[in-house]
Amino acid sequence: MKELDLILKNIKNKEVLPIYFFHGDEAYFIDVAVKALEHDFLEEDEKAFNQTVVYGKDTSYPEILSLARQFPMMGDKQVIIVKEAQDLRLNEEEGRQLEAYAENPVPSTVLVFAHKHKKLDSRKKVTKALDKGKFLFLSESIKDNNLPKWIADECTSLNIKTAPNISHLLAEYMGNDLSRISNELNKLKIILKEGEILDGAIIENHIGISKEYNVFELQKALGAKNSNTAFKIAYYMGKNPKNNPFVMMLASLYNYFSNVIIYQTMMGQPPQTIASQMGINPYFIKDYAETARLYPLKHATRVISILREFDMKGKGLGAVNMGEAELIKELVYKIINVDKIKMKV
């Protein structure tokens, strides 16, 4: 998030705005920015007099704006931080008050709102006023296909060297919980010895993700039509449903075989172009090339139909009394033998 990097750089350089209104679905970026304003802007001896932290459920906009209009007791700036600002009521009158403040903020106050998990209504005048003043910052969730790159960038910023596929492995198993991913990477940073490379074994030991038995390895085995490995992984995943949610596995395989179809339709174009369309690192193109060879377009399309069928079965439609373990094994069998299975019309 380039905007976040700029915000953090400006805070470090003591170049701040009078208002920061962070809002949006992704709480992690908001937390990082607010933490920097809370801990890195004022000196420790200034915080006791010039820093106030309140919570949305315990206050109101008139009270917050009253605090914001006060002047610092010591030093040049005071910081007012409103955490959980999404719990604040914002009626029409309060909206007008915030709008008026946004148009004429107190220069000696840094007023910070952490409005998580939802956006402000872009149609409202107060939102437009905050945006016009360049005080509004939207924190959007990272798309699944961009998550491995974000993880790889985080590893780079922490000076963590990784083995190939590690960012994808973490993305597959930890989902887009950026706070959890960041916490785990910071733990690994402490654990890793100088020059040590982060690989699957280290992740399995310290995070609990099995490199051998996970959805990423399952899709590799299916992509290579390695039935023995695929069934072995399927058996393990079926025995550990809490660590291997069926819905997540289906979503991962759906994305994988959708990319195989993209590869099929773009075959012959430069690998960089295909990788960009698929939203992956060009490093992985060779894997898709091998899978595309084993799953021609007709068969890859059938796999998508099979995954949709099992999505319905996972919801209890057409699979009475079938547990996830049985569903996973049947799914793997059908994908491996997709060229032999007649599809229902």
User: pLDDT per residue over 274-313, tens digit each?
Assistant: 988 988 878 788 889 999 999 999 999 999 999 999 988 8
Report whether 73 contacts 49 (CB < 8 A): yes
User: Which backbone phi and psi does 239 adopt, to 5 degrees?
Assistant: -80, -15
Q: What pLDDT band is residue 317 in, cutting at 50, 70 and 90? A: confident
Q: Is the pLDDT score of 213 beyond 80?
A: no
Model pLDDT, residue 115: 97
**Exposed (0-12), middle (13-18) or buried (19+): which is 12, by Cβ within 10 Å?**
exposed
Q: What confidence score (pLDDT) does residue 211 get?
A: 59
**DSSP SS3 for 200:** helix
Mean pLDDT, residues 40-44 taken together:
93
Alpha-carbon Rg for the chain in angstroms = 25
Instruction: For residue 61, give both structure tokens.
Output: 């906009």
Q: What is the mean pLDDT of residues 77-100?
A: 95
Least confident residue range of 42-56, 57-71, 162-176:
162-176
The more confident residue out of 209 and 340 is: 340
pLDDT at 83: 97
Convert the pLDDT of each residue in 52-63 to its tens digit. 999 999 999 999
16-20, 40-44, 308-312 — which one is most confidently predicted on average? 16-20
| pLDDT at 345 (0 to 100) | 40
Amino acid 210: pLDDT:
61
Q: CA angle, corner 188, sides to 185 and 189, nearest 5?
A: 85
| pLDDT at residue 325 in the model | 85
Global pTM exceeds 0.85:
no
Residue 327 φ/ψ, nearest 5 degrees: -65, -45
**Which DSSP string corresponds to 294-308?**
HS-HHHHHHHHHHHH
pLDDT level of residue 35 (50, 70, 90 thresholds):
very high
Residue 327, pLDDT above cutoff 50? yes
Q: Phi and psi at residue 108, in whole multiples of 5°?
A: -85, 0
Specify the pLDDT at position 74: 79
Angstrom distances, CA of residue 190 to CA of 57, 177, 193, 239 = 37, 21, 8, 32
Helix (H, G, I), strand (E, B) or coil at 97: helix
Which secondary-structure segment (H or E) carries 23? strand 19-24
Percent above pLDDT 90 for the chain = 63
pLDDT bucket at 6, cuts 50 / 70 / 90: very high
Q: 237 falls in which pLDDT band (50, 70, 90)?
A: confident
Confidence (pLDDT) at 282: 82
Mode of pairing for the β-strands spanning 109-116 and 51-55: unpaired
* Average pLDDT score over the chain: 89
Which pLDDT score is estimated for 209? Answer: 63
Confidence label for 203 from pLDDT (cuts 50, 70 and 90): confident
